Every structure is written in structure tokens, then in C-alpha cells.
């Protein structure tokens, strides 16, 4: 299980995360679940899989180098939700609605050599076995 708090570093506790590469594996649209395959170095067999649940936003290439996922602070998460049109400005006027969103949504990020990978989900889990699809 990952550290699902805001502002968490290396949420999956991966040793030397820069040695891993991530690949989109499967997105289950009815359940809003995103699965990533994670490979170590140039291996052809995944070292493990990552599951992101209740995905609301995804900004990434199909493959990237690095698996050092962190979570952003609450304000950065809300700002991306506003920028992406997932929520409206009115939510900022209602503290209870704002708190409910940040209790549920997390902005997971990975800085790759070429860009920032971002996704908003409610939780993330490291899986040792391939997920049932």
C-alpha cells in the first residue's frame, strides 16, 4: 500500500526509483482504475504493478523513466482540478466542499527526465502480481 497523504515523498517506498520505467497497462473506465506496469532497467518482465483507483485526471505519455511518485499539497491538487475543469471556482467559496475534495483526491506526480507526469486519484497501491483484468 502507498502513503496516500498529501505532500508524501516516494509514496511506494521504491529503492532507487530512477532505475524503473513505467508503462500504461490498462485503464478500466467503468471503475476508473489505472494500472501501470513497472519495469526495472531493461527487463522485459514487470517488477511490479501500480494501481490508481478512482482516477479523475491523467497527464502522461504511454512510457516514461522513473517511478518516484510523490503527492502534491492540497492546494496544488485543487488548482489542477480547477485548471482541468473537473471542478468549478464556486467550490472555493464552500470550505466543507473544498475539504471533502481534498480528503478524497490526491495529485500523484513523477518528475521524469523530460516532463512532469500527473494524475489525480483517490488512492494508489503497489501490486506484486498482475491484476485481474
Residues 31-87 pLDDT 10s: 899 999 999 999 999 999 999 999 999 999 999 999 999 999 998 999 999 999 988
User: What is the Cα–Cα distance from 133 to 13, expressed in whole angstroms?
Assistant: 25
Asked whether residue 9 is assigned to any structural domain, the reply reads no
Asked whether residue 4 is assigned to any structural domain, the reply reads no
Grid coordinates given for 104? 478524497
pTM for the predicted model, two decimal places:
0.91
1 pLDDT exceeds 80? no
Q: How far apart are the first and last CA of the chain?
A: 20
Asked whether residue 7 is assigned to any structural domain, the reply reads no
User: What is the Cα–Cα distance from 6 to 71, expressed in whole angstroms?
Assistant: 5
List, in sequence order, the alpha helices (H) in the chain. 74-83, 95-104
Asked whether residue 39 is assigned to any structural domain, the reply reads yes
The domain containing residue 107 runs over which residues? 17-127
107 close to 69: Cβ distance less than 8 angstroms: no
Asked whether residue 3 is assigned to any structural domain, the reply reads no
Asked whether residue 12 is assigned to any structural domain, the reply reads no
Grid coordinates given for 74? 492540497
Q: Are strands 33-40 and 116-121 parallel, antiparallel or unpaired?
A: unpaired
Q: How many structural domains comprise the chain?
A: 1
Q: Which DSSP category does 31 fall into?
A: T
Amino acid at each position: 500500500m502507498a502513503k496516500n497523504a498529501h505532500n508524501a515523498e516516494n509514496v511506494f517506498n521504491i529503492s532507487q526509483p530512477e532505475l524503473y520505467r513505467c508503462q500504461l497497462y490498462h485503464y478500466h473506465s467503468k471503475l476508473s482504475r489505472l494500472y501501470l506496469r513497472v519495469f526495472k532497467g531493461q527487463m522485459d518482465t514487470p517488477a511490479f504493478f501500480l494501481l490508481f483507483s478512482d482516477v479523475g485526471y491523467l497527464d502522461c505519455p504511454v512510457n516514461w523513466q522513473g517511478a518516484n511518485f510523490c503527492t502534491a499539497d492540497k492546494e496544488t491538487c485543487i488548482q489542477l482540478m480547477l485548471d482541468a475543469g473537473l471542478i468549478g471556482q464556486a467550490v472555493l467559496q464552500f470550505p466543507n466542499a473544498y475539504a471533502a475534495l481534498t480528503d478524497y483526491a490526491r495529485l500523484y506526480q513523477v518528475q521524469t527526465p523530460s516532463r512532469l507526469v500527473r494524475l489525480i486519484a483517490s488512492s494508489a497501491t503497489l501490486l506484486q502480481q498482475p491484476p485481474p483484468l
